[in-house]
Amino acid sequence: MVPEQVERYQRIDAQTFDLRSFFEQFNGKAGYALFYLLTSNAKDFLKKVIKNITLIEAAGGVVENEQGEYLFIYRNHKWDLPKGKLEKDEKKKVAAVREVEEECGIKVSSIGKKICITYHTYKAKGEVILKRTYWYRMNFAGEGELKPQLEEGITKVLWFKREQTAPIVKNTFPSIIDVLVKLELLKDKVAPL
């Protein structure tokens, strides 16, 4: 499917696409660009990409409290949502709750449906990694002080109302924008020109 506002995107050839090369070409460049590729079978294409790279599975949550506020973390100078790697044989929902509780110092009251799956790349020990993250809706009905997990690079854990998310959008990752759009906390993932 061709994205809306296609003129803002650069098309990539699916036949010659190599994630490692693509990452190396664009990693560290100022700003960010939007890309898309078309393929007749997205599942087969993704399997091909994953076959040539290290895949890490993770899970996280978008936590809403009783006041209609959403929980965000500030990690390594960027706003983010709590998430982390699945442990061996751990179920996705269990991992999502564990990661939220560890990174934010809260006790999740309930977990809801899966929101979406995102993918992002980064480099660790000289290797390009693809991380697949399963995102879930969560609720918090308790009280208590938020406590950032400092050893994970988290320096702040804060609640934000929907209308207060502008500073987050200006300093977060494209995959987090995708989650916020899916939840309708944002209307459009394409920033104005």
Domains, in order of start, for the chain? 1-52 (no CATH), 53-193 (3.90.79.10)
For residue 73, what pLDDT is reported? 98
What per-residue string of b and e applies to 5-17 under the rule 16 or more CB within 10 Å gives b? eeeebeeeebeee
For residue 5, what pLDDT is reported? 82
pLDDT tens track, the chain, 193 positions: 788 888 888 898 888 898 988 888 877 666 667 788 899 998 999 999 888 899 999 999 999 999 999 999 999 999 999 999 999 999 999 999 999 999 999 999 999 999 999 999 988 898 999 999 999 999 999 877 899 999 999 999 999 999 998 889 999 998 999 999 999 888 765 544 3
**In contact, 71 and 82? CB cutoff 8 Å:** yes
Extract the tokens encoding 117. Answer: 């799956």
Which element (helix H / strand E) includes 73? strand 70-75
Total count of residues recorded for the chain: 193
pTM of full prediction above 0.75: yes
For residue 99, what pLDDT is reported? 97
Nearest alpha carbon to residue 162 among 185, 140, 137, 183: 185
